[in-house]
Amino acid sequence: MSGDDYKPGLLGQIKDKLISSKQQWARNGRLLTGEAPSAPQARRLPPGQRLVRDWPVLDLGVQPNILLDKWQLSIGGLVAKPVKLGWNDFLDLPQTEAVSDIHCVTAWSRYDNRWAGVLARDLLKLVQPRPEAKFVVFQSYDGYATNVTLEHFAAPDVLLAHSWEGDPLRREHGGPVRVVMPRWYFWKSAKWVKHIAFLDRDAPGYWEVRGYHNEGDPWKEDRYG
Ligand SMILES: Nc1nc2c(c(=O)[nH]1)N[C@H]1C(S)=C(S)[C@@H](COP(=O)(O)O)O[C@H]1N2
Ligand SMILES: [Mo]
């Protein structure tokens, strides 16, 4: 035994601290940008956003109440195997947990949301989009719709979430199931999702036809038009 073992707790703590600060730097691209040590926090918050701790609710004035035994998610359009999933079918698919930040176009961001649900990638394996499919539209129980490219939908962090922080996703936040597209402003994350259509042409959704940007990248401040 070496003398170092005399104070393992302290040494362990320092080591952990160093590792976690390096991990933080790596996550924020510290070593890529070479910015000052105060920069990492700033880099996690996209331009023009402010951090909130609560979770605001935004909707069109309707929060549909969908009972689980009536809930259905259909996926169709340019796919080899269209499906209609009931609640138990959905839970039988591979389940994934993921943590992501929310960036709303109305300038609030919320860090570290822990979701559980089904990865878009696992839905793609199920329905098998045809080669002509290039765009995806989400249609919701409240009449909302939003569009993304198939490439963006197929990103590894896109989830159809039924849980948040270990509890069922609350109705006001889009339960039973909402889309979570972490790399885009939150209006792309359709709540109360009902149908996913695969298309060969783009089909701008509710906000996209009302002056919002078609893509909505928070890092480019793609807010409007
Ligand atoms: N079905 C549906 N999805 C929706 C909306 C909506 O009105 N209806 N609003 C969008 C907008 S503009 C935002 S910012 C987020 C808000 O999600 P939250 O209420 O859980 O914060 O949902 C998005 N998805
Ligand atoms: Mo929004």
Instruction: Dump pLDDT digits (tens) for 180-203.
Output: 999 999 999 999 999 999 999 999
Element (H, E) at 41: helix 39-44
Beta strands in the chain (DSSP E): 50-51, 72-77, 83-86, 96-103, 108-119, 135-140, 145-149, 159-164, 167-168, 178-180, 193-199
Pocket lined around ligand 1, Cβ cut-off 6 Å: 55-60, 104, 140, 142, 144, 173-174, 186-187, 189-192
pTM: 0.84
pLDDT at 60 over 60: yes
From the CA of 58, give the closest atom in ligand 1. 19
Number of the ligand closest to the Cα of 207: 1
* Closest protein CA for atom 22 of ligand 1: 187
Which of 148 and 39 is assigned the larger pLDDT?
A: 148
**Ligand index nearest the alpha carbon of residue 110:** 1
Q: Report the alpha-carbon distance of residue 114 to residue 127 in Å, rounded.
A: 26
Gap from CA of 48 to ligand 2 centroid (Å)? 14
Q: Would you say residue 121 has pLDDT above 60?
A: yes
pLDDT band at 42 (very low <50, low <70, confident <90, very high): low
